[in-house]
Amino acid sequence: MSERVDVGDKMPDVAMETPDGGSVKASDFAGQKLVLFFYPKDDTPGCTTENKDFTALKGDFDAAGVALLGVSKDPPAKHQKFAAKHDLAAPLASDPVENGLADALGIWVEKNMYGRKYMGMERTTYLVGPDGKIAQVWRKVKVKGHAQAVLEAAKAL
């Protein structure tokens, strides 16, 4: 397993697919602050709450000059349905199944539920500075209050 990318490191520049069929990567946000929030799966309770929380604060992130991007391994079509169903304003991206950004960051990890081992996304948020370097990392995120804490940190950066 590779070393985890951490504070002070450059955000890896791995292309991800957007729901509209385009692509996006960290370098597209050069010169501005970026919050990348990785979550396990569209339309599950915690992930839906997290996306709604970031959506509720999107105006505040915009006002602070901070771009938002929610990321999971779900395919673009699923992201479209998820965003439409919950009226999500924070943009979403689909991380490639293999050798994606989550792999580069070390957050595509083995999980264990009820004795069953499987690969899954570790809920993690990265605050990236205008220089493309990681300013703060939240690992194994607890959803309640998280989006607000990220906003405060982004404003302070």
Domain boundaries, the chain: 16-146
Q: Rounded CA gap, 154 and 27, in Å? A: 18
Structure confidence at residue 1 (pLDDT): 42
Q: Annotated catalytic sites, by residue?
A: 47
pLDDT in tens, 117-133: 999 999 999 999 999 99
Q: Taking CA 46 as the corner, what is the angle to CA 32 and CA 59, rounded to the nearest 5 degrees? A: 35
Q: What is the mean pLDDT of residues 11-22?
A: 96
Q: Rounded CA gap, 29 and 114, in Å? A: 40
Structure confidence at residue 97 (pLDDT): 86
Whether the CB-CB separation of 108 and 101 falls below 8 Å is answered with no
Task: Name the residue with higher pLDDT: 98 or 50.
Answer: 50
Stated pTM of the model: 0.95
Judged by DSSP in three states, 118 sits in strand
Domain 16-146: CATH class, spelled out: alpha beta
